[in-house]
Amino acid sequence: MPTAVLFATLLLVPAPEGVPDADRTRLSEAFRVARDAGDLVWPGWSKAPFAVVLVTPDKEFFIGHPHPPAGAQKLGKDDLLGVEVFARPRTFETSFLATFPIEGVSTIVVGQRGNTNVTSSTDWVLKVLHEHFHQLQDSQPGFYEKALALDLSRGDNTGMWMLNFPFPYEALAVDASFTAAAKALRTRLQGGERVGYRAAREKLRTGLADDALRYLDFQVWKEGVARYTEIRMAEKAASSEPSAAFRALPDYLPYSKAASALTEQVLRDLEKADLSGKKRVLFYSYGAGEALWLDAERPCWKDDYLKTLFTLEPAFATAAPCLGSR
């Protein structure tokens, strides 16, 4: 047995009734980073729920969920995670990495690291934190009602419109204006011209139909800022020390490298700007780029982020300086 694997095995705390040890270590790390850095990145984030369902091939474990569904068996409090754990036979896909209400509580439903599309244990932790940020968004008063009021669902009450809205990804004019805006944003993030991005952004926005613009704004606000949050949380976590058990996992990656990889991916996506190929997934990087832009140009933008749901436009529209800025 390799030394690193043996070391990890010795450090892992025994799990109650089949909860996988390595996943407990990853979840414990996610809870630690959220506890240590969450409110530094987003003041008040610690007030959001952090209910998780871990999906394994045979079972799914409700971790820290205040109202587990009927039929879930109580396993007791997990000393490593510090919360109650319940289990039931698996009902969700093992590849899930999503957040949606379960028993009225915004809940992260996540598969084991090897069954998802993440590349490392560190990336898995950051993706869980991405989903935890969705819990902060979802917990805002009237979130779901206001989302439906965007009038984008077209009768879909399942929420799948958030993924399947017919945005004109392949329209030539939209592709051209989006590509120009994405490349101008990348240039600005790398120290280029300030005015260039504002002009390209405005051209993109004025060329979209009203519903397409609302959908773009929604995706940028929700998914783009969540991807940005991954970057900022990785940067914060890089200044702290993960547990020995987490560092001993064979696919551990230092947070500094994870933060760099996420930022580089955003810049690559903006440069390529493959809207027709990546479709809505490209809005993750585009929105992350906008949030990074706002950090540099208007650092107080977060003060109103949760007050103006589903759009970053107020932060871009105002020319007023932040209080205390020079």
Q: How confident is the model at residue 3 (pLDDT cuts 50, 70, 90)?
A: very low
Nearest to 182 by CA among 291, 305, 287: 287
The pLDDT tens digits for 156-171 are 888 899 999 999 999 9
Using a pLDDT cut of 90, give the percent of the chain over it: 87
Residue 33 to residue 208: CA distance in whole angstroms: 39
What does 23-90 look like in DSSP terms, one character per residue?
HHHHHHHHHHHHHHHHHHHSTTGGGS--EEEEE-SSEEEEES-SSPPTTPEEEEEETTTTEEEEEEE-
Q: How confident is the model at residue 5 (pLDDT cuts 50, 70, 90)?
A: very low
Is the pLDDT assigned to residue 326 strictly greater than 50? Answer: no
Largest CA distance in the chain: 61
Range 45-49 average pLDDT: 97
Nearest to 197 by CA among 210, 205, 187: 187
Average pLDDT taken over every residue of the chain: 93
pLDDT at 84: 96
pLDDT at 306: 96
The pLDDT tens digits for 202-240 are 999 999 999 999 999 999 999 999 999 999 999 999 999
Amino acid at 5: V
* Structural contact between residues 223 and 279, judged by C-beta atoms closer than 8 angstroms: no
The continuous run of DSSP H or E covering 101 comes out as strand 97-102
Range 138-156 average pLDDT: 94
pLDDT at 322: 81
pLDDT at 192: 81
Range 101-127 average pLDDT: 97
Q: How confident is the model at residue 18 (pLDDT cuts 50, 70, 90)?
A: low
pLDDT at 323: 67
Helix axes 282-297, 255-272, angle to 10 degrees: 110
Q: What is the radius of gyration, based on Cα positions, of the chain?
A: 21
Residue 25 to residue 8: CA distance in whole angstroms: 10
The pLDDT tens digits for 264-297 are 999 999 999 999 999 999 999 999 999 999 999 9
Residue 95 to residue 92: CA distance in whole angstroms: 9
Q: Is 38 exposed, middle or buried (0-12, 13-18, 19+ CB in 10 A)?
A: buried
pLDDT at 83: 96
Residue 111 three-state SS: strand
pLDDT at 320: 67
Nearest to 229 by CA among 40, 49, 51: 40
pLDDT at 217: 98
